[in-house]
């Protein structure tokens, strides 16, 4: 008897097949082949980075680490998965497909990629998703990654099915528990590396299986937006801790950020609390039909209000936003779509594929559309003390509006970012992240 997750997955594939059949008909294709990809060796080396299948494959098949598989999608037919299980004594072979998802597909186990290559010869109007370096010799006139088809597949993924929503909710459960373990390690004066290891242990996932490289930043490192190191050295003073780390569930991502400090750091703790309240208010504004560009501007007003209330900037929030002063403290976008990719597709086009570039004032905004039911996105306002940007602000015409002594006192703390994953509905938004933390606290 199918499990509940098996039923959700079956409905997901059924919905996607109906959408794909229409899309293939509109574009004149009979068949779509999606290759999961192959590892690529580093230059002059026999080592490859950890493999992860691309999201166009994972959004159909819940196997994010399956190499050299081929999904065959033909209009009106059950999807067929050529599942690669090589004979290999150098590596552990992939486990056989689990029945809960394999029953939805026509699965053929193959020992070599050559066993599915005939798919390229048996079709006429054929489209292929994959890398030319993997498939170039097989194409024989097939269309590789045709732009209209890729755009249509991307648009399909902007509306998450019940299966996808459940995967992302479960990923948030895993990540939230790991965030609390990381916070406990920080409170015990652990190093960045030790905190990272505590996170992995609590998540039960290796770094190579997480959806992105975790940011584990102590003190001033929290001001580096994509801080990429994890020092094994314990700082002399443990001032602050910013962690941006997720989890994976069947190829779908959670993306959560939290900021912590020690109780005696009252000024910075007040900033964290103020940013947390501002972030929750922004999450409450997530609604179908809302322009994300407008919501991003509301985030700037919210951060500016925190700056004013903390007596860091002597300007009104409106004046800070209009003059661009708020961008010195909040230089990135408010959020992005999330799903089988952390920074998911189609964030800067409308439903018909027309470009929606970010405004000149906010060049790093990854999402520029009006929100629609079924979208899942991050809401992640930040407030940072970034030395390079502070130097630029000091050289600007607004330097006399800044409380520089207080800014310099807070600069060693790095910054604050709070990030949740939020589902857009016809009514109130569903905050997967806050729900996950609430379940742990309850």
Q: Is the pLDDT of residue 417 over 80?
A: yes
Identify whether residues 181 and 105 lie together within a single domain: no
299 and 332 belong to one structural domain: yes
What are the tens digits of pLDDT across the range 141-189?
A: 899 999 999 999 999 999 999 999 999 999 999 999 999 999 999 999 9
The model's confidence at residue 89, banded by pLDDT at 50, 70 and 90, is confident
The CA dihedral of 380, 382, 387, 390, to the nearest 10 degrees, is 130
Tell me the CATH number at 121.
Answer: 3.40.350.10
Last residue of a domain, one of 124, 139, 157: 157
63 pLDDT higher than 60 = yes
Evaluate if residue 243 carries a pLDDT over 60. yes
CA–CA distance, 109 with 290 (Å, rounded to integer): 46
- CA 81, CA 72: separation in Å to the nearest integer? 6
Which two structure tokens, joined as six digits, stand for 177? 């528990």
pLDDT digits (tens, 9 = 90+) for 361-405: 999 999 999 999 999 999 999 999 999 999 999 999 999 999 999
Tell me, yes or no, whether 153 and 167 share the same domain: no
Element (H, E) at 270: helix 266-284
Confidence of residue 3 (pLDDT cuts 50, 70, 90): confident
One domain, residues 418 and 319: yes
Residues 133 and 186 in one domain: no
- β pairing state of 215-218 and 240-249: antiparallel
The pLDDT assigned to 64 comes to: 97
Q: Taking residues 209-223, report their average pLDDT.
A: 98
Verify that 243 and 328 share a domain, yes or no.
Answer: yes
Q: What is the DSSP string of 67-117?
A: -S-EEEEETTS--EEEEE----SSSPPPPPPPHHHHTTSEEEEESSGGGTG
Contact 107, 81 (CB under 8 A): yes
User: How many domains is the chain built from?
Assistant: 2
Q: DSSP character for 360?
A: T
Q: How far apart are CA 259 and CA 273, in angstroms?
A: 10
pLDDT band at 122 (very low <50, low <70, confident <90, very high): confident
| Average pLDDT in the chain | 96
Verify that 168 and 149 share a domain, yes or no.
Answer: no
Q: Say if residue 118 is in the same domain as residue 196.
A: no
DSSP states of 113-160:
GGGTGGGGTS-SSEEEES-HHHHGGG-TTPEES-HHHHHHHHHHHTS-
Residue 270 has pLDDT above 80, yes or no: yes
pLDDT at position 95 is: 87
Domain end call among 157, 175, 190: 157
Residues 254 and 43: their CA atoms lie apart, in Å, by 32
CATH number, domain containing residue 385: 3.90.230.10
Contact residues for 98 (Cβ-Cβ < 8 A; gap 6+) = none
SS3 35: strand
In this structure, are 87 and 105 located in the same domain?
yes
- 123, pLDDT greater than 80: no
Q: DSSP assignment of 220-253, as one string? A: GGGGSTT-----SSPPSS--EEEEEEEEEETTEE
20 pLDDT band, cuts 50/70/90, is: very high
Q: Please identify, among 130, 157, 184, the residue that sits at the C-terminal boundary of a domain.
A: 157
Residue 1 has pLDDT above 70, yes or no: no
Q: What is the mean pLDDT of residues 404-429?
A: 97
Q: What is the pTM of this model?
A: 0.96
Domain around 34: 4-157
Token pair belonging to 201: 């242990």
User: Which pair of tokens denotes residue 326?
Assistant: 């708020």
- My answer on whether 138 and 200 are in the same domain is no
Nearest to 284 by CA among 268, 295, 271: 295
pLDDT at residue 77, as a whole number: 93
Poorest-confidence range of 1-15, 34-48, 345-359, 371-385?
Answer: 1-15
Considering the domain architecture, whether residues 291 and 342 belong to the same structural domain is answered as: yes
Report how far apart, in Å, the C-alpha atoms of 3 and of each of 11, 13, 257, 421 are: 12, 15, 32, 26
- Residues 168, 155: Cα–Cα separation, whole Å: 18
Task: Say yes or no: 262 and 115 in one domain.
Answer: no
User: Is residue 2 pLDDT above 90, yes or no?
Assistant: no
Distance CA 283, CA 309 (A): 21
Q: What is the pLDDT of residue 99?
A: 94
């Amino acid at each position: 008897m199918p499990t509940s997750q098996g039923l959700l997955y079956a409905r997901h594939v059924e919905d996607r097949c109906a959408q794909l059949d229409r899309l293939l008909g509109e574009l004149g294709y009979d068949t779509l082949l999606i290759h999961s990809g192959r590892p690529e060796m580093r230059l002059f080396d026999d080592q490859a980075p950890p493999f992860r299948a691309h999201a166009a494959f994972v959004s159909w098949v819940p196997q994010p680490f399956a190499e050299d598989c081929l999904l065959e999608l033909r209009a009106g037919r059950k999807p067929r998965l050529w599942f690669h299980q090589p004979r290999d004594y150098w590596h552990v072979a992939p486990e056989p497909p689990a029945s809960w998802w394999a029953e939805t597909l026509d699965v053929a186990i193959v020992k070599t990629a050559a066993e599915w290559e005939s798919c390229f010869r048996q079709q006429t109007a054929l489209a292929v998703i994959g890398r030319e370096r993997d498939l170039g010799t097989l194409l024989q006139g097939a269309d590789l990654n045709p732009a209209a088809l890729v755009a249509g597949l991307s648009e399909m993924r902007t509306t998450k099915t019940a299966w996808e929503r459940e995967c992302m909710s479960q990923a948030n459960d895993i990540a939230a528990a790991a965030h609390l373990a990381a916070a406990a390690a920080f409170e015990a004066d652990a190093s960045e590396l030790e905190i990272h290891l505590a996170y992995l242990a609590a998540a039960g996932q290796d770094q190579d299986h997480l959806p992105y490289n975790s940011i584990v930043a102590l003190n001033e490192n929290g001001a580096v937006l994509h801080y990429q190191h994890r020092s094994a050295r314990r700082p002399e003073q443990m001032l602050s801790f910013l962690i941006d780390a997720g989890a994976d569930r069947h190829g779908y991502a959670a993306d959560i950020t939290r900021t912590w400090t020690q109780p005696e750091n009252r000024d910075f703790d007040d900033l964290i609390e103020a940013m947390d309240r501002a972030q929750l208010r922004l999450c409450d504004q997530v609604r179908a039909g809302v322009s994300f560009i407008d919501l991003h501007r509301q985030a700037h007003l919210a951060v500016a209000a925190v700056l004013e209330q903390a007596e860091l900037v002597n300007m009104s929030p409106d004046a800070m936003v209009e003059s661009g002063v708020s961008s010195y403290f909040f230089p990135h976008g408010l959020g992005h779509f999330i799903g089988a990719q952390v920074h998911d597709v189609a964030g800067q086009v409308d439903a018909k594929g027309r470009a929606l570039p970010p405004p000149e004032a906010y060049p790093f905004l990854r999402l520029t559309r009006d929100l629609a039911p079924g979208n899942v996105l991050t809401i992640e306002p930040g407030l940072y003390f970034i030395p390079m940007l502070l130097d630029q602000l000091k050289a600007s015409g607004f330097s006399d509006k800044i409380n520089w002594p207080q800014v310099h006192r807070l600069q060693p703390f790095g910054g604050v970012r709070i990030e949740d994953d939020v589902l857009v509905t016809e009514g109130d938004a569903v905050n997967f992240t806050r729900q996950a933390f609430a379940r742990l606290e309850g």
